[in-house]
Structure 1
């Protein structure tokens, strides 16, 4: 089953699509997280140690849980993108897209000729020939989301033109890298500095009304959700697999120490 629609259907209904990140090599953890009700799982092939086989296992776990499997590739490289799409990814996040030209390259990598340069080798993408290959090839945008990640201030000026590209499904902001791109030898910025917030607002204004997906990646908090929904995002990806494990472990330790302290005082 193709699951990109788990995101697009939610957005079309005027609702916020929710996802979570994974970076461990365990597809079992991914299946558990996806099974909690997330619309999609962001499989991080950029900042983790997972390899191609791990990514494929994660995609299988997403499909088993009924969530869209979106892979952030290590770089804007058509060779890497081609292989991951043939594994059956529901979408690709291309990191650090800094210009209109780089966005065009990303779009080309996810589309077959004449619209792009993707090579033919569908395999798992069409369930090894069980699904309709011709339909998949003819309407790639229905089955695959091509999402560029906004992580550098240089790309802001090009967003209106990138949004016009037919091969780009949407955008996702990476607040931390974006903030770092504003750093100078004289000043280091934080994500809460007024100048950074102004740029985030500009991104929201540039993408409003484009009809493209517009999302953000970060840590879950009330402020984060409120700030970015105000800017008009229609999908969010929050927290990592390690966050849930660390949070659960800390909770056990805190609860245990609280009870033990109470018992000690009782004696």
Structure 2
């Protein structure tokens, strides 16, 4: 048996734009439904979604037959969590709150076996190697791992040149909501200063040969980022797509309600 190819990693390397959807329900049935709508990638959210290793595993299994590539966002850069998520078969990881080159290097090391890293050797017991059915997993498996670090603070932007220089970092995902808070612009992810900062960070990433990504649920904003060269853009969040469409439906019957809605870029 051969190790599955990472279509998302190959797309980033080739420069092909990739449209994504956030899968936030933490439920394999809902995530499988999202996998059928045609997005290039979907995000299984272990940071803000109520996920654990078993629920992430169930979602990876649910979406395996479909073309949408699952990206798993871990709760933090804990090497033990990264090890578990890799062993259950995740190939692409998104790691939040990376502010320094040291943190970026540590994330990459957590995805590599010794002597190049610190990942514990035990994939033969798990889904990653298809229970030892992929005899060269220690080599071929690592080649298919894609590491996305999230830069979402003023400190991270200040260190972006060093972060994108780390070998093994495949892309940088800019978090507009956290970044706006870090810039003292809470709940203003579309503020011109935030958009400008993301654009500048994306330019640095591209110059280093790394892909840049962002979350932008406003259609025109998402198109603007794509036109500016941001390569992978999450254009929707499943749970908000459901809730917002339900609200819109009820407004047809109950009238307009002037309620503030959170923005995600």
Structure 1 residue 176 displacement after superposition: 0.5
SS at match of 2:22: strand
Q: Does 1:66 align with 2:56?
A: no
SS at match of 1:214: strand
* In 2, Cα distance between equivalents of 1:192 and 1:41: 22
Where does residue 79 of structure 2 map in the other structure? Answer: 78
* In 2, Cα distance between equivalents of 1:65 and 1:215: 22
Q: Which shows bigger deviation, 245-254 or 227-236? A: 245-254
Unaligned 5+ runs, structure 1: 259-267
* In 2, Cα distance between equivalents of 1:209 and 1:114: 29
Match of 2:132 among 122, 129, 133: 129
Note the alpha carbon deviations across 1:5-40, whole angstroms, 9 max, x for none: 1x2343455431111111213211111111111122
1:91–1:144 Cα contact (<8 Å) kept: yes
Unaligned 5+ runs, structure 2: 256-265
Where does residue 201 of structure 2 map in the other structure? Answer: 203
* In 1, Cα distance between equivalents of 2:215 and 2:135: 32
Distance change in 2, residues 1:251/1:195 (3 Å): closer
TM-score normalised by length of structure 1: 0.85
Where does residue 261 of structure 2 map in the other structure? Answer: none
* In 1, Cα distance between equivalents of 2:199 and 2:26: 36
Where does residue 170 of structure 1 map in the other structure? Answer: 171
Note the alpha carbon deviations across 1:112-131, whole angstroms, 9 max, x for none: 1122100112110122222x
SS at match of 1:117: coil
Note the alpha carbon deviations across 1:169-195, whole angstroms, 9 max, x for none: 111011010111112xxx757233333
Instruction: List 4+ stretches of structure 1 deviating above 4 A.
Output: 254-258
* In 1, Cα distance between equivalents of 2:186 and 2:25: 31
Kindly report the root-mean-square deviation, in angstroms, between the aligned alpha carbons of the 2 structures.
2.2
Where does residue 231 of structure 1 map in the other structure? Answer: 228
Where does residue 21 of structure 1 map in the other structure? Answer: 22
SS at match of 1:69: strand
Q: Count matched residues.
A: 251
Superposed, which structure 2 residues align to 1:1-267 within 5 Å? 2=4, 4-5=6-7, 7-122=8-123, 123-130=126-133, 132-134=134-136, 136-183=137-184, 190-219=188-217, 221-250=218-247, 252-253=249-250
SS at match of 1:166: coil
Higher helix share: 1
2:25–2:238 Cα contact (<8 Å) kept: yes
Note the alpha carbon deviations across 1:183-213, whole angstroms, 9 max, x for none: 2xxx757233333233222202211232222
User: Which structure has the greater CA radius of gyration?
Assistant: 1
Q: Which shows bigger deviation, 81-90 or 59-68? A: 59-68
* In 1, Cα distance between equivalents of 2:238 and 2:20: 12
* In 1, Cα distance between equivalents of 2:183 and 2:135: 45
